[in-house]
Amino acid sequence: MTGVHLEPNDYHAKMAEKDTVIIDVRNHYESVIGHFTPPPNGAQLIDPKMRKSTEFPLWLDKPETKKLLQNKQVLMYCTGGVRCERASALLRTKMETEADVKDLNIKGVYQLQGGVDKYFKNFPEGGYWKGKNYTFDKRFAHAPPLLEVEERYNKKMSETTPPDSKDVPEKKNGDNDDNSNHNIMGKCEACSKPWDMYRGKRRCPTCGV
């Protein structure tokens, strides 16, 4: 008994509906570098700020969480869809077995079929996604396909365009040397400069932490 599986196009449409919340069931550091940004007057994004999946049940039991879910339809998403299976099943079980959760009058529980990975395949330009999707493979983190292509092109152009070229836009004070920073939502905890490579022994290029 899990949430209703929605294909990316249907999930995308639901994010624009009122009285809806979206729960990012990934770890907080994953949400920091990229997440859905529903349209104005659409769903409300909720980040439980988890460090690991086992913290989800505790978060779900908090009074402030229940208040957020009251009289709402609940959407969930994760990288590939696995975490959503467990998370939505837990909520559905509580809706049937716990009186205080029954009283919340939750309108339905839905999850993104195939996770963010499948959403990117249907919305290569990003759709309602902003930032990058953290992965546990050699990619580390990646943007929607079309934005990845654009980022690689811009990086190549910045490397081949002469410094005195009129085509090079004037940098503003505080701009980082990395031209792809407009796609970076995360930041270094030490110096607060744009940073989204939270993996292995990689260090912030600005402060080295």
Residue in 3, 4, 6, 2 with CA at minimum distance from that of residue 115: 6
Query: Contact 71/104 with Cβ under 8 angstroms?
Result: yes
Asked if 188 is an active-site residue, the reply is no
Q: What are the beta bridge partners of residue 41?
A: none
From the candidates 78, 84, 191, 204, give the one annotated as an active-site residue: 78
Element (H, E) at 32: helix 28-33
Beta strand pairing status for 4-6 and 108-112? parallel
CA distance 209 to 203: 5
H helices, E strands: number in the chain: 8, 9
First-to-last alpha carbon distance for the chain, in angstroms, is 44
CA distance 169 to 149: 20
**Burial label, 134 (beta-carbon count in 10 A; 0-12, 13-18, 19+):** buried
Enumerate the active-site residues: 78
